[in-house]
């Protein structure tokens, strides 16, 4: 199993842990696993250490930004394809995490704009997968969601990624994309 | 000029006059919309530099498409008059707004964010404004910021020295406004985007205090202060300004541009962070607020940060604003900020609990020594064995030729002593027809010996190397690798990505259970209660609850969550959940007839959906949040009274499908089937 950098929610101890399959599945699903902590001397909740945010840098590359948009709502994908104009962005769309991973395998992207609530592998699980396997992409995620549930709010507060609520506000979206890279 | 028409733009009135042009309000006769028309002053119309500058303004501004940057509609020449037609902005300049005093912090931040956002776009296009000031920032009635006069902007060359500005050098004029001018601009030095950061800092100072950081009786006095005097603290004028904002403004106003924000994007990110933390601080301990664009660089509101936002009663010195060295230890790792994470890491290392970066040097050194030793033994053993085999083969050659083989003496000197010792030890003659078979035995023994010695060394090396290898692999999957700006994933990762994803998906699926959710709601429950005795209502609903619990029990519900009028039940099987729903609708008649005495009867609507949900045994249903549950809830919400709406996914798993009909509609992109209570 891949090594994950986790921290204990109680004492903030950070450790690299190779998790058994069941715990790894839980980590992807809920972002938290119950494991013993040497410092706390008890079983505690461990979470993935969120990715470092890159220092904001001015992009001087005149080529369009490559943006991967992941959303199970076809309308959102279509709207973003139209709004993010080709002279500024090269937009590739994915209707689910499966498609997104296939696209990530073959193409490089500057920014990933992801929905959160999606069937099966949702935005949260995808983000956790990226932290573990493609950490440099975890730094480039921008969440665009219409979900205002407490679970999603908590996730957004903790993930450290820029995020926006639907409906799409283009100037704000462009500004956040610029912030990422 | 009033009343004159340029192209299809009619000049209505003069709005103002600046060094590089006169601005008129006009109207677009084709589109019937107000416009601003900027004309070069008549004396400048003949000046080639002024014309070039005017042209540059048009080109520069038209490159920037941003809500906070004035849109250019047209540029033209008519009757030797050069004009620029821009969007007409109705609103007030920031300067006018500040006449009534400093701005409250949140509106200040909102304006600053829009300015910094626009400047970050300009920065990306290698354009600097060079005259950011409160007069050049307008606010529309809808709160939209508009930065005027990108006309002073000049293109920054991407490489090589910046071209000397013709206007500046030939006319000996320093472009900009003295009070908002950066020190390097005042000195006539080459400019970059950091000059705009300084000027934005001056505007921030103005907004926070209502005054300028440097004032004086004459421009030369102001200029001298800009160059030599440190800016006053914001807290000297406005004690309510949060320390984080004070620090930010001070950073913008650094004389040395290396110590300022290096780009508008960094300023923007910090402005958003301060705004978000202020909003969080205001929200206090209430429920989590959804605020777009959580800033990742700053930690969540730790006690230290929140105290930063509380307006100090006395002016805060810069040393008290800075976090104490030990503070990093208290920063939780969820902070996700570069600085906080690194400081937390540094604190960990300093504290000796170096779980992420144990001392690797001794392991690397030991591995090197072991590997070198092992290789040396291997090479020596191999060469010795080869030498033995060579000497064994020599008698095959003619004796005179064998003597001429180069290096044969060296082989003899290396092998013969060993051979003699072995021969004396075993005391057996291995020679047959001039071939000494003892050489072959020694060669074989040497080979075996080097293998036997190398094997434990290799094991020892692997044992020492193991922690290093696991750490290296985690580097590829952890935070450390994130400092590098890789534009794409490595080829090896690409190769394995799909496999890793498939495995992750399987593990994710393994921890989830297939659960059917049945949402039930009493139709018009509020109306039912009107005009009824409270005790009767309570009794009726208590009976209804018992009635439902009996059905859930009969149909093997896994878990149930109650709300005042509704209920959500989880089942391991769709069949059971559908049976519960049907039974409820059918038995409700009996319940209404025999059990309760309210005037209005109980009618319910049900929604059913199925899917894989992470549902730990020890968690109540109330704490589970998932799209599958939401869909069940939405099905119920849209269902007609006395019907069960189920998703297509649930329908497909049903064995008993009698009475279900497809509906011509969707809920949350799910096809719907309906079951109606038989009349």
Identify whether residues B650 and B546 lie together within a single domain.
yes
Identify whether residues B100 and B201 lie together within a single domain.
yes
Backbone angles phi, psi at B324, to 5 degrees: -70, 155
Let me know: does A1 contact A18? Beta carbons within 8 Å.
yes
**Does B674 have pLDDT greater than 80?**
yes
Q: Which residue among B292, B338, B477 places its CB closest to the CB of A164? A: B292
Is B542 an 8 Å CB contact of chain A?
Answer: no
- Domain holding B405, by residue range, is 361-473
CATH of the domain at B251: 1.10.510.10
Let me know: does A102 contact A109? Beta carbons within 8 Å.
no
Quote the pLDDT of residue B301: 33
Which residues from chain B sit within 8 angstroms of residue A26, using beta carbons?
511, 614
Which residues from chain A sit within 8 angstroms of residue B123, using beta carbons?
58
The answer to whether B295 is a known catalytic residue is no
Identify whether residues B57 and B108 lie together within a single domain.
no
Q: Is residue B481 assigned to a domain?
A: no
| Domain count within chain B | 5
Please state whether the peptide bond connecting residue B25 to the residue before it is cis, i.e. omega within 30 degrees of 0. Answer: no
Q: Where are the beta strands (DSSP E) in B66-110?
A: 72-78, 81-87, 91-93
Which residues from chain B sit within 8 angstroms of residue A154, using beta carbons?
288
- Beta-carbon separation of B625 and A150 below 8 A: yes
Let me know: does B204 contact B212? Beta carbons within 8 Å.
no
Q: Is residue B13 assigned to a domain?
A: yes
Q: Which residue among B287, B479, B611 places its CB closest to the CB of A5? A: B479
Task: Give mean pLDDT, residues B527-547.
Answer: 84
Q: Which residues of A88-119 are buried (b: 16+ CB within 10 A; e: fewer)?
A: ebbbbbbbbbbebbebbbeeebbbbbbbbbbb
Quote the pLDDT of residue B359: 52
DSSP string, B285-349: TSSPP--SS--SSS-S--HHHHHHHSPPSSPPPHHHHSPPTTHHHHS-GGG--HHHHHHHHHHHH
Give, to the nearest 10 degrees, the angle between helix B243-252 and helix B264-283: 170
Which residues from chain B sit within 8 angstroms of residue A14, using beta carbons?
333, 344-345, 348, 355-356
Identify whether residues B322 and B418 lie together within a single domain.
no
Q: Is residue B356 assigned to a domain?
A: no
- Beta-carbon separation of A179 and B268 below 8 A: yes
Q: Which residue among B266, B356, B477 places its CB closest to the CB of A14? A: B356
Quote the pLDDT of residue B539: 86
DSSP-assigned letter for residue B164:
P
What is the number of alpha carbons within 13 Å of residue A61 lying toward its C-beta? Answer: 12
For residue B183, name the pLDDT band (cuts at 50, 70, 90): very high
Mean pLDDT of chain B: 78
Give CA–CA dist B390/B405, Å, rounded.
11
Quote the pLDDT of residue B208: 95
Report long-range pairs for B660-663 (Cβ below 8 Å, ≥24 apart): none
Q: E strand or H helix at B377, and its extent?
A: helix B361-393
Q: What is the maximum span of chain A, computed from C-alpha positions, in angstroms?
A: 57
Nearest C-alpha in A relative to B500 = A133
Quote the pLDDT of residue B343: 37
Which one of the listed residues B28, B117, B123, B131 is annotated catalytic?
Answer: B131
* Token code pair at residue B320: 């008290």
Quote the pLDDT of residue B2: 85
What is the number of alpha carbons within 13 Å of residue B119 lying toward its C-beta? Answer: 32
Identify whether residues B309 and B392 lie together within a single domain.
no
CATH of the domain at B2: 3.30.200.20
pLDDT in tens, B475-521: 333 333 333 333 334 344 667 889 899 999 998 888 888 899 999 99
B634 Cβ contact partners less than 8 Å away, ≥ 6 residues apart: B607, B667, B668
Q: Is residue B465 assigned to a domain?
A: yes
**N residues, chain B:** 679
Phi-psi region of B154 (alpha: psi -120 to 50; beta: other; left: phi over 0): beta
Identify whether residues B131 and B197 lie together within a single domain.
yes
**CATH architecture of the domain with residue range A65-180:** 3-Layer(aba) Sandwich (3.40)
Nearest C-alpha in A relative to B68 = A171
Classify the C-alpha dihedral B56-B59-B65-B70 as positive or negative: positive
Helix (H, G, I), strand (E, B) or coil at A91: strand
- Please count the residue pairs, one from chain A and one from chain B, whose beta carbons lie less than 8 angstroms apart: 222
Quote the pLDDT of residue B672: 95
- Beta-carbon separation of A171 and B297 below 8 A: no
Question: Higher confidence at residue B609 or residue B428?
Answer: B609
Question: Higher confidence at residue A61 or residue B33?
Answer: B33
Which residues from chain B sit within 8 angstroms of residue A50, using beta carbons?
333-334, 336
Which residues from chain A sit within 8 angstroms of residue B268, using beta carbons?
56, 175, 179
Identify whether residues B341 and B425 lie together within a single domain.
no
Identify whether residues B327 and B379 lie together within a single domain.
no
Identify whether residues B213 and B102 lie together within a single domain.
yes
Give CA–CA dist B269/B295, Å, rounded.
6
Q: Is residue B179 assigned to a domain?
A: yes
What is the number of alpha carbons within 13 Å of residue A171 lying toward its C-beta? Answer: 15
Q: Is residue B603 assigned to a domain?
A: yes
Domain residue spans of chain A: 3-48, 65-180
Q: Which residue among A15, A72, A165 places its CB closest to the CB of B290? A: A165
Residue numbers of B between 462 and 481 with CB closer than 8 Å to A? 470-471, 473-474, 476-479, 481
For residue B194, name the pLDDT band (cuts at 50, 70, 90): very high
- Residues in chain A where the model's pLDDT stays below 50: none
Question: Higher confidence at residue B476 or residue B134?
Answer: B134
Residue numbers of A between 25 and 84 with CB closer than 8 Å to B? 25-26, 28-30, 47, 49-60, 72-73
Q: Is residue B366 assigned to a domain?
A: yes
Q: Is residue B161 assigned to a domain?
A: no
Quote the pLDDT of residue B145: 94
pLDDT in tens, B228-273: 999 889 999 998 899 999 999 999 999 999 999 999 999 999 999 8
Q: Which residue reads 């000796």 in tokens?
A: B352
Identify whether residues B389 and B404 lie together within a single domain.
yes
Let me know: does B321 contact B245? Beta carbons within 8 Å.
no
Nearest to B105 by CA among B273, B253, B278, B267: B278
Identify whether residues B311 and B322 lie together within a single domain.
no
pLDDT in tens, B95-127: 999 999 999 999 999 999 999 999 999 988 888
CA distances from B305 to A25, A121, B273, B295, B335 (A): 35, 35, 11, 14, 11
Identify whether residues B210 and B312 lie together within a single domain.
yes
């Amino acid at each position: 199993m891949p090594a994950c950098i986790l921290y204990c929610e109680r004492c903030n101890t950070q450790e690299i842990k190779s998790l058994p399959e069941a715990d790894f599945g839980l980590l992807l699903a809920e972002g938290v696993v119950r494991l013993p902590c040497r410092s706390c001397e008890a079983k505690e909740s461990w979470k993935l250490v969120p990715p470092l945010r890159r220092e904001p840098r001015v992009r001087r590359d005149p080529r369009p930004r490559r943006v991967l948009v992941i959303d199970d709502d076809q309308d959102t994908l279509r709207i973003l394809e139209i709004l993010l104009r080709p002279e500024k962005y090269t937009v590739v769309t994915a209707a689910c995490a499966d498609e997104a991973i296939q696209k990530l395998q073959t193409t490089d992207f500057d920014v990933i704009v992801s929905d959160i609530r999606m069937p099966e592998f949702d935005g949260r699980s995808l983000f956790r997968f990226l932290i573990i396997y493609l950490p440099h992409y975890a730094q480039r995620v921008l969440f665009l969601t219409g979900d205002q549930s407490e679970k999603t709010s908590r996730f957004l507060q903790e993930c450290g990624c820029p995020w926006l609520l639907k409906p799409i506000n283009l100037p704000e979206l462009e500004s956040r994309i610029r912030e990422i890279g | 000029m009033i009343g004159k028409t340029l192209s299809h733009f009619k000049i209505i009135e003069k709005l103002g006059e600046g060094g590089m042009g006169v601005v008129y309000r006009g109207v677009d006769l084709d589109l019937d919309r107000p416009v601003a028309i900027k004309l070069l002053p008549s004396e400048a119309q003949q000046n080639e530099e002024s014309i070039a500058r005017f042209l540059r303004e048009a080109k520069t501004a038209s490159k920037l498409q941003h809500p906070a940057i004035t849109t250019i509609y047209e540029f033209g020449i008519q009757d030797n008059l050069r004009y620029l037609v821009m969007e007409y902005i109705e609103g007030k300049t920031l300067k006018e707004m500040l006449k009534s005093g400093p701005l409250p912090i949140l509106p200040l931040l909102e304006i600053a964010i829009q300015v910094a956002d626009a400047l970050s776009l300009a920065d990306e296009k290698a354009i600097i404004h060079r005259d950011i000031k409160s007069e050049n920032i307008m606010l529309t009635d809808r709160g939209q910021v508009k930065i005027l006069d990108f006309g002073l902007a000049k293109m920054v060359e991407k490489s090589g020295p910046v071209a000397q500005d013709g206007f500046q050098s030939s006319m000996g004029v320093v472009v900009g406004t003295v009070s908002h001018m950066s020190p390097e601009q005042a000195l006539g030095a080459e400019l970059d985007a950091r000059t705009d950061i300084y000027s934005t800092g001056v505007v921030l100072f103005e907004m926070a205090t209502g005054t300028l950081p440097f004032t004086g009786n004459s421009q030369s006095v102001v200029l001298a202060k800009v160059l030599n005097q440190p800016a006053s603290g914001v807290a000297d004028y406005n004690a309510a300004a949060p320390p984080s904002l004070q620090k930010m403004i001070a950073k913008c106003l650094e004389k040395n541009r290396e110590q300022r924000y290096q780009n508008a994007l960094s300023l923007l990110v910090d402005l958003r962070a301060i705004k978000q933390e202020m909003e969080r601080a205001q929200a206090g301990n209430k429920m989590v607020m959804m605020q777009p664009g959580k800033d990742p660089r700053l930690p969540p509101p730790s006690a230290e940060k929140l105290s930063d936002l509380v307006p100090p009663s006395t002016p805060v010195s810069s040393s008290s604003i800075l976090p104490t060295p030990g503070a990093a230890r208290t920063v939780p790792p969820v902070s996700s900020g570069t600085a906080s994470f690194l400081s937390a890491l540094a604190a960990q290392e300093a504290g000796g609990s170096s779980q992420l970066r144990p001392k690797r040097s001794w392991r690397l050194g030991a591995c090197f020594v072991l590997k070198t030793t092992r290789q040396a033994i291997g090479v020596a053993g191999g060469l010795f064995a080869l030498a033995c085999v060579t000497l064994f083969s020599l008698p095959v050659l003619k004796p005179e030729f064998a003597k001429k083989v180069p290096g044969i003496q060296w082989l003899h000197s290396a092998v013969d002593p060993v051979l003699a010792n072995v021969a004396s030890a075993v005391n057996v003659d291995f020679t047959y027809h001039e071939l000494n078979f003892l050489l072959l035995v020694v060669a074989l023994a040497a080979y075996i010996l080097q293998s036997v010695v190398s094997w434990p060394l290799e094991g020892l090396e692997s044992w020492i190397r193991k922690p290093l290898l696991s750490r290296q692999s985690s580097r590829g999957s952890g935070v450390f690798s994130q400092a590098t700006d890789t534009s794409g994933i490595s080829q090896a990762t690409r190769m394995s990505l799909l496999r890793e994803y498939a495995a992750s998906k399987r593990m994710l699926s393994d921890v989830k259970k297939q659960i059917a959710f049945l949402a039930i709601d009493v139709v018009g429950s509020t109306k039912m209660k009107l005009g009824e005795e409270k005790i009767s209502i309570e009794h009726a609903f208590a009976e209804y609850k018992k009635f439902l619990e009996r059905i859930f029990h009969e149909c093997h519900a896994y878990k149930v969550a109650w709300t005042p009028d509704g209920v959500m039940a989880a089942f391991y099987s769709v069949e059971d959940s559908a049976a519960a729903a049907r039974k409820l609708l059918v038995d409700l008649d009996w319940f209404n007839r025999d059990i309760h005495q309210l005037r209005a009867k109980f009618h319910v609507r049900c929604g059913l959906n199925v899917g894989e949900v992470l549902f730990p045994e020890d968690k109540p249903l109330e704490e589970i949040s998932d799209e599958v549950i939401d869909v069940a809830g939405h099905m119920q919400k849209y269902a007609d009274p006395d019907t069960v709406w189920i998703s297509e996914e649930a329908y497909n798993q049903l064995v008993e499908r009698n009475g279900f009909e497809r509906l011509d509609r969707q809920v949350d992109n799910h096809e719907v089937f309906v079951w109606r209570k038989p009349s």
